[in-house]
Structure 1
């Protein structure tokens, strides 16, 4: 690859974000990480290499012919493309969606350099053979990310741009990917967008730091002093934490304090001949905070859906939640009124165009969007959360124009706003930079010690443990666990 030169470049993204006067040179044999706070422009900086944004001024020269980009935005676009197939269906025929195999091989007809042998190698490496004929839309978040990464690598680009490539991957898959990328550094240039300093691969040569739409620092990773200064910049002090109170009138009916919140007995979940969970017992007592861990495909999301009532097999299992035995006439809303929930799947579903304040207010109504008039007290609580998240002056901005990380922070506030009896956080730090990640972890710790909310925290990163959590549940894939 030749040198890529970006000179005095200004570009607009949507109606609310601008990259300003970017000057950046990527030399041959350099591999970059772009980092910065949520909304700082790091994803936009990487995306202009792939032609994104509307150029206002400046120039980019030396771009290679074939560039691949993998990002949360690209993932959302692909999922959206699959969802639109349902909209196009006629005669009430529901599309099964595109098989994984076809998604992976789309580049074969486009790129002469498409590497079929590498594709087969990557599929085997990540043990994805069983899902090649499955619908892409039915994959988990981690599985979807793996498919997109494999496809991009098999297309054999000159430059590959990976925006948060390790988020949603378990530790084993993350190490596999790091080793794989390292083996390709002589074949393709790499630009990675990362929030977490501890995920920077050892083959990275340079770091770019963005802030407020500007490229503020370009650091050679071997310059220890500059590297340490940049690390400190990413760990600026957070606001003093104080969890906003909520109006007691927004709380659901009190539960019997002698009952467990959740009791799962001899749980089994199977799809045809494939058994995901078998013989699982689990009890969650009030005030007993849990961390749930396990590799992709071990059934974590399935288990959460059994608790929330979003899984059809909850009625065929022995499940007791919030004083109710499932299958005895209770409604799903009787259950959900006690739950706050944050997940990547919720973020994909939360596609309404409403203000930041209304996203938080929707937590009072357990809805996607606001369709009920909010009280003055509820609005005041929502504004307190916005102030805590550093978004007080952005209350009326549209949610769908936020960065991925800022959207996640807002959904966490939405889940916490009623101080729910059970707060389920499914990978809450996914897509967050170090500063906001520390903020989120501290907030969860405050909730753990507040005395009125039980936390169920799902994650892959062992270092993200919270001092208030003392109970741990580890799931393994069924073929590796003893029932």
Structure 2
């Protein structure tokens, strides 16, 4: 049995739909669908049970009998029970349908049903109303219904939620015993719950099927684990080191104010009469075609452009040209670019790369404190890299290097973090890793972010100010 979804768009309500899904489930494959909350995991699983309104595309090979376990299916069963309660008309109190009747209605094999009831320790609940069960008990009923129907396909949406430890182990073992006869698709958030028999993983994001990987592909599996870790982890941005103090800025003043800025080379104006103000805790996306002046504009802020002295540039309380040094400016800025990554060609360990951010050095040449080491460890935990703390930086993938350099730039909690095309040169998985980290920084820190990119699809939640430059 092969199930094919080709260019499939499915609408579920006014607020959500799956878009252009291309997916093939071949024989002997068992899939996990994962992603963040609201990404479309449950919706994709529900499509396999013929839920949703197909707008375009095709789906072929769906089996006749699909065993579905989900919170939505459970809610529908409870809603059906509530409809039976006509107490106002009948002048009686409805007790609801007994568990036994609900199970018998779905079972195609009485002997199998009895075995499952015993396995799930539900014998004592058979005469009780389904509506009176606890969350865990009602979950067990849903699982037994699906399994006892002897389906051609099992679709299990978070099947382990609400189960006690013993039942969870039993269920995993029982599902493992079925893999030769029943293909399975599970929706799971936690990587540590993925059963050993899972062969493939689908990653959903904003209603789109972004990644499909073979579990045996160790590199792709590790990257997907890291992406989900960044997207769903409760870890927050580590605090700054109280002993590495950046001078306090006036919160009433803007971080950056550029008035009537013009940058020109000979007679050619790259930027003409531009005003731009960046307030504390504002996040900006800067875009524009090649040659529109993005890099020149950033170098005015950092103090690296010679024309900053002939323009009206106010940064971090300094009027440029009033006697301040470039290092007085740069202490307030974290900067990440492809050029920096080219320069950072050292073999020091990952922990040391992050610590080097305290000293603005490429490599680490100073004795660090225990507190700085602990903060670096917290950043590694956030990135899902704790076990690689002593791995050489120059042995990392290109995408992981970019993540480390962003952490290095953030370790001092600068008032301003400039990310100059941080996704340049990254494949899709690493691009999403970097975007996830930037999103976390925007949500969990007081650092203002300037995010430079060319691609409108690389939007970041939390960035709601936009400056688009035009080529003159």
Q: TM-score with structure 1 length normalisation?
A: 0.50
Q: Please give the per-residue CA displacement for 1:370-411, whole angstroms capped at 9, x wherever unaligned.
A: 222211111111112122222222222221222211111110
Whether 1:211 and 2:205 are equivalent positions in the alignment is: no
Describe the SS at the equivalent of 1:328: coil
Tell me, in whole angstroms, the C-alpha distance in 1 between the residues paired with 2:386 and 2:443: 26
Contact 2:286 2:453 in 1 (8 A): yes
Q: In the alignment, does 2:421 pair up with 1:427?
A: yes
What's the counterpart of residue 467 of structure 2?
473
1:438 to 425, 432, 437: 432
SS at match of 1:463: coil
Q: Matched residues in 2 for 1:252 and 1:338: separation?
A: 7
* Residue 373 of structure 2: aligned partner: 379
Aligned CA distance change for structure 1 residues 313 and 392 (closer, same or farther; 3 Å)? same
Residues 1:367 and 2:361 aligned together: yes
Q: Distance in 1 between matches of 2:428 and 2:383?
A: 14
Mapping of 1:235-274 within 5 angstroms?
Answer: 238=230, 240=233, 241-274=235-268
Q: Which residue of 2 is the match for residue 281 of structure 1?
A: 275
Q: Residue 353 of structure 2 contacts residue 364 of structure 2 at CA under 8 Å; is this kept in 1?
A: yes
Aligned position for 1:398: 392
Who wins on radius of gyration, i.e. which is larger?
Answer: 2
- Decide which moves more: 404-413 or 247-256: 247-256
Rounded to whole Å, the distance in 1 between the matches of 2:257 and 2:227 is 40
Q: How many Å apart are 1:309 and its aligned residue?
A: 0.8
Alpha-carbon contact 1:247-1:377 (below 8 Å) kept: yes
Displacement, 1:428?
1.8
Structure 1's unaligned 5+ residue stretches are 1-195, 199-206, 217-230, 479-483
1:283 counterpart SS class? strand
User: Matched residue pairs, number?
Assistant: 261
1:420 and 1:232 map into 2 onto residues whose CA distance is: 29
Give distance in 2, aligned partners of 1:449 and 1:347. 25
Shift of 1:267: 1.3
Could you list the per-position Cα deviations for residues 76-135 of structure 1 after superposition, in whole angstroms to 9, with x for gaps in the alignment? Answer: xxxxxxxxxxxxxxxxxxxxxxxxxxxxxxxxxxxxxxxxxxxxxxxxxxxxxxxxxxxx
Please state if 1:301 is matched with 2:301: no
1:193 alignment partner in structure 2: none
1:462 aligns with 2:452: no
TM, length-normalised to structure 2: 0.51
1:99 aligns with none
More relative contact order, 1 or 2 (CA 8 Å, 6+ apart): 1
User: CA offsets per residue over residues 424-477 of structure 1, 9 Å max, x none?
Assistant: 111222334444433432332332233521111111121221221111100011
Per the alignment, do residues 245 and 271 of structure 1 end up closer, same or farther by CA in structure 2, a change over 3 Å counting?
same
Q: CA 1:235–1:259 in 2, change beyond 3 Å: closer, same or farther?
A: closer
SS in 2 for 1:264: strand
Q: By how many angstroms is 1:296 displaced?
A: 1.3
Alignment partner, residue 309 of structure 2: 315
Distance 2:447 2:402 in 1: 20
Contact 2:226 2:433 in 1 (8 A): no
**Greater alpha carbon shift after TM alignment, 388-397 vs 317-326:** 388-397
1:21-420 alignment, distance < 5 Å: 211-212=217-218, 238=230, 240=233, 241-420=235-414
CA RMSD of aligned residues (A): 3.0
Unaligned runs of 5+ in 2: 1-202, 206-212
- Tell me: CA distance 1:311–1:418, structure 2 relative to 1, closer, same or farther (3 Å): same
Q: Relative to structure 2, which stretch is displaced further, 401-410 or 430-439?
A: 430-439
User: What's the offset of the Cα at 1:325?
Assistant: 0.4
CA distance in 1, matches of 2:435, 2:353: 21
Q: Contact 1:360–1:410 at 8 Å: present in 2 too?
A: yes
The answer to whether the Cα contact below 8 Å between 2:227 and 2:436 also exists between their aligned partners in 1 is: no
Provide runs of 4+ in structure 1 moved above 6 Å.
207-210, 231-235
In 2, distance between residues paired with 1:415 and 1:267? Answer: 27
